[in-house]
Chains A and B, each alone.
Chain A
Amino acid sequence: MHIPDGYLGPTTFIIMYLIMIPIWIYAGYWVQKSLRSRQIPYLALGAAFSFVIMMFNVPVPGGSSGHAVGSALVGIILGPWTAVVTTSCALLIQCLIFGDGGITAFGANCFNMGTVIPFVGYYTYKLIAGNSEITSKLRIAAAAIGGYLGLAVAAGIAGFEMGIQPILEHTATGTPLYMPYGLNVTVPAMLIDHMGFFCWVELIVTGLGFAYIAKNSPEVIFNYKPPSSKTIEEQKEVGSS
């Protein structure tokens, strides 16, 4: 889903940067307001995990390939605004050092992978989990489904951004200047590859990652409210034994 330079025309990539600027600013503000200094190592780890997870390419029939992103998990654990920061860090380095994702398309990539995935993931998780206990199967399933849906919606949006190029940017005779395939190709292609394959990897990563942290260190989860002080003491005893 890392759109390279040349697939989006200036209209689209400038709009995507303009959308991302306030999102980056607010994400910084939210992190400052909401996170505590002891959560900074988790923020750094979340960014590093996202980077590595994206290196696990999965082949799909037809010769294409792709990967999970991991930003739904960061969104659920440290909050979707934190995931904007961690995923944007990973995408920036992928773009500058590894040539994965374009410089002009950086805003679009940060929107698709760094914003849509964590927000869709987090709100899906929140909606399904409701008031269930932190380690309940329902909550773990909610996180997993959040990961699946987050990546699926982001893939559809990335497909849309690419697919509108032949309409927006073409020569006087109608020849596309950037992505030559239209919406009828890009959206189904992105959705089929992702919903059929990569979203399942995102589902497993998000479900397992959440289950582990919820069981062992629920206090890391940004909006976790301990049921009672006694329960925390018990959890600490269990955790350190």
Chain B
Amino acid sequence: MKTLKPMDKTLKILIYALIVFVICVPVGLIASGTAFGEWGPDELNQSVGYIPAGFASLNGLWNAPLVGYDLPGNHQTIPTQTPGYYVSAIVGVFVVGGIAYVIGKAIVKRND
């Protein structure tokens, strides 16, 4: 018979905590400003008056499907951004956790 070990219990509670984090994730939308050094071409142009040539050739190199943790469309307000933020959090948790799990399974062999 298998009893629930303290380690399993901790795992369960951490999963609940992760779910709570995901539920609360729209709180992160309150901060709407761009982080230092993460400005787009327009913001950079506004602050320094030009778009550096090398920057222009590299920026926008990759078109991410859920760019800005949002669904496609021009969402400017928190209520319209919230669905995309939830989708992003759920997709991210499963994909990131899944990849880390697969990598762990592939390389960890010790069972002791």
Which residues of A approach B to under 8 Å, CB–CB? 1-7, 9, 28, 31-32, 35-53, 55-60, 62-67, 85-86, 89-90, 92-100, 102-104, 158-159, 162, 169, 171, 175-181, 186, 189-190, 193, 213, 216-217, 219-220, 235-236, 239-240
Q: Assess the A93–B99 pair: CB atoms within 8 A.
A: yes
Q: Assess the A236–B6 pair: CB atoms within 8 A.
A: yes
A216 touches which of B10, B37, B58, B85 (Cβ 8 Å): B10
User: What is the distance, in angstroms, from A172's C-beta to the closest C-beta of chain B?
Assistant: 12
Chain B positions within 8 Å of A3 at CB level: 37-38
Chain B positions within 8 Å of A177 at CB level: 52-55
Q: Assess the A31–B104 pair: CB atoms within 8 A.
A: yes
Q: Assess the A5–B58 pair: CB atoms within 8 A.
A: yes
A36 to B100, CA, bound (A): 14
Chain B positions within 8 Å of A64 at CB level: 33-36
- Given A4-B59, A186-B37, output 14 extra A-B contacts at Cβ < 8 Å: A5-B59, A6-B55, A32-B107, A42-B11, A43-B103, A47-B99, A52-B18, A56-B25, A59-B31, A94-B92, A95-B64, A180-B44, A180-B48, A217-B9
Within residues 1 to 36 of chain B, which ones have a CB less than 8 A from any CB in chain A? 3-7, 9-11, 13-15, 18, 21-22, 24-25, 27-36
* 9 A-B residue pairs with CB within 8 Å: A56-B24, A58-B31, A65-B33, A99-B62, A102-B58, A103-B61, A177-B53, A180-B44, A180-B48
Chain A positions within 8 Å of B44 at CB level: 180
A179 touches which of B6, B13, B37, B89 (Cβ 8 Å): B37
Query: How does the 8 Å CB contact mask read for B82-112 relative to A, with 1 for contact and 0 for none?
Result: 0001001101111111111101110111111
Q: Known: A47-B96, A57-B31. Is A236-B58 also a contact (CB below 8 A)?
A: no
Most A CB contacts (10 A, CB to CB) among B55, B59, B88 go to B55
A interface: dominant SS = helix
For B37, the closest partner residue in chain A by CB is A162
Most B CB contacts (10 A, CB to CB) among A37, A53, A89, A96 go to A89
A216 to B6, CA, bound (A): 7
For A236, the closest partner residue in chain B by CB is B6
User: What is the distance, in angstroms, from B36's C-beta to the closest C-beta of chain A?
Assistant: 5
User: What is the distance, in angstroms, from B19's C-beta to the closest C-beta of chain A?
Assistant: 10
A4 to B111, CA, bound (A): 40
B36 touches which of A35, A85, A190 (Cβ 8 Å): A190
Q: Known: A89-B103, A98-B67, A180-B44. Is A44-B29 also a contact (CB below 8 A)?
A: no
Chain A positions within 8 Å of B59 at CB level: 4-6, 102
Q: Assess the B65–A102 pair: CB atoms within 8 A.
A: no
A7 touches which of B55, B60, B67, B68 (Cβ 8 Å): B55
For B111, the closest partner residue in chain A by CB is A37
Q: Assess the B54–A169 pair: CB atoms within 8 A.
A: yes
Q: Known: A44-B101, A55-B89, A99-B64. Is A189-B107 also a contact (CB below 8 A)?
A: no
For A86, the closest partner residue in chain B by CB is B100
Chain B positions within 8 Å of A93 at CB level: 92, 95-96, 99
